[in-house]
Amino acid sequence: MIRVGIVGASGYSGMEAMRLLLRRKDIKVEAATASSSAGQRLDALAPGLAGRSDLVLEEFDAKRFEDLDLAFVALPSGEGMKVVPPLYDMGLRVIDLGGDFRLQSTQLYQQYYKLPHTAASLLGCAVYGLPELNKKTIAAARLIANPGCYATSAILGLLPALMHGIVEQKGIVITSASGTSGAGRKGSVDLSFSEVNENVKAYKVGSHQHVPEIETVLTSACKGPVTVSFVPHLLPITRGIYTTIHATLTQSIAQEDVLRLYSEYFEKAPFVRIKADIPQITSVTRTNYCDIGVYVQERTKQLIIMTVIDNLIKGAAGQAIQNMNIMLGLPEELGLES
C-alpha cells in the first residue's frame, strides 16, 4: 500500500488529486491539510466524495507526514516553498503543484511571481515534471516541480516542431484561453459569474508567470534560446485550456509530414493524441489527455499548432499523479485511464 498526503486539499487542484487518488486500491490518503478549512470533514467540502473518505482536514504539521511515502503540495505559489523543505528533509518524495520550483533562477522567480524565493537551496534538486520530456529524470527524483497548466499546453505543442528544427526558435506567438478554475478557489469580483459569463478577457499580457517557464524549458530542450509572446485569456467555462501557437517554418513541409513527425515524437506518450482535425476542449474534459492539431499555412510560411487540455487534470492533479506513478515505478497510466 502506498501512503500519501495532500497539503492544500481544499483547493481545486488538491481536491482533484484527492478524487483521483481515492479511486485507487493501491493508494491510501492518510493526511489532508487545509488551513482555512481545518477541522471540517473532506466530504463536507466535496459532497461528491461522500462515502469514499472520512478524512478530517488539518492544519499543516510536517510531522503528520513523516511515515508517508509521498506528499502532494497543492498550494498557491509562495506558499509551497514554506512547506516543501521540511517534507523533503524527512526523506519524502514531494510533488509541488505550484510554481515555486519550476524556475531555476531566483531572479526570474522574483520578477514574475513578485516574491523573494526562500527555498533556493532546493531548486537544484527539483525536476521539471513533464513526463513527455523528462520521464527518466522524474523516475529518479525526490522533488518534482509539476508544470503550469498553460505551460503544459504550450510546451507539448511546440516540442516536436522545435526539436526537429522545422520552426524558428524566436518570434513564436502563443494565445491561450482557460476556464475559471485555473485561477483557484479564491473569491474575486473578476471571477464572479456576472463578470465572466458571456465574456472573454485577456489578462497579464506580457507578464504571465508561465512565460519564463515556457521559454526556459524549451530553451533547455532545444539547446538554444527560444522566445515566445504569450497572451492568456479567461473563458466563461469552468475547466479546460485551448492554446493556439503560430511559429515560422524553417523549410517547406507537407501537412502529412508534420502529422507523421508529431505522431512519431509522441509514440510512447500515452496521454498525447495527435488529431487530423481541429481539437476541442470537450474531447479532453475530465481526462489526462492533451490533444494536438497542426496546420501548415503555406501562404504565410507558418505552422499553426492547436492544443487542448483539462487544466485541473493534465494541467495539474492528473499530471502530478502521472509523475507519482513514474517515481514509484508504476505504469504511468495507472489510475488515469478515462
Q: Could you read off the pLDDT of 40-79 as tens digits, one per residue?
A: 888 888 888 877 888 889 999 999 999 999 999 999 999 9
Residue 238: predicted pLDDT: 92
| Other C-beta atoms lying within 10 Å of the C-beta of residue 283 | 14
Tell me the β-bridge partners of 126: 143
Q: Could you read off the pLDDT of 11-32 as tens digits, one per residue?
A: 999 999 999 999 999 999 999 9
Long-range contacts of 50-54 (CB under 8 A, 24+ apart): 52/22, 53/18, 53/22, 53/29
Determine contact, residues 23/286, Cβ cutoff 8 Å. Answer: no
- Of 35 and 147, the structure prediction assigns the larger pLDDT to 147
Q: Could you read off the pLDDT of 197-233 as tens digits, one per residue?
A: 889 999 999 899 999 999 999 999 998 999 999 999 9
Using alpha carbons only, how large is the chain's radius of gyration in Å?
A: 19
Residue 187 has pLDDT above 70, yes or no: no
Closest CA relative to residue 320, chosen from 14, 9, 2, 3? 14
Query: Catalytic positions, please?
Result: 149
Residue whose C-alpha cell is 463536507:
44
Residue 332: predicted pLDDT: 96
Q: List the domains of the chain with CATH numbers.
A: 2-147+315-327 (3.40.50.720), 150-310 (3.30.360.10)
* The three three-digit cell numbers of residue 177, written as one number: 484561453
The contacts of residue 328 (CB under 8 Å, 6+ apart) are 2, 69, 70, 93
Residue 34 CA to residue 60 CA, distance in Å, equals 7
Give the pTM: 0.95
Residue 72 CA to residue 6 CA, distance in Å, equals 5
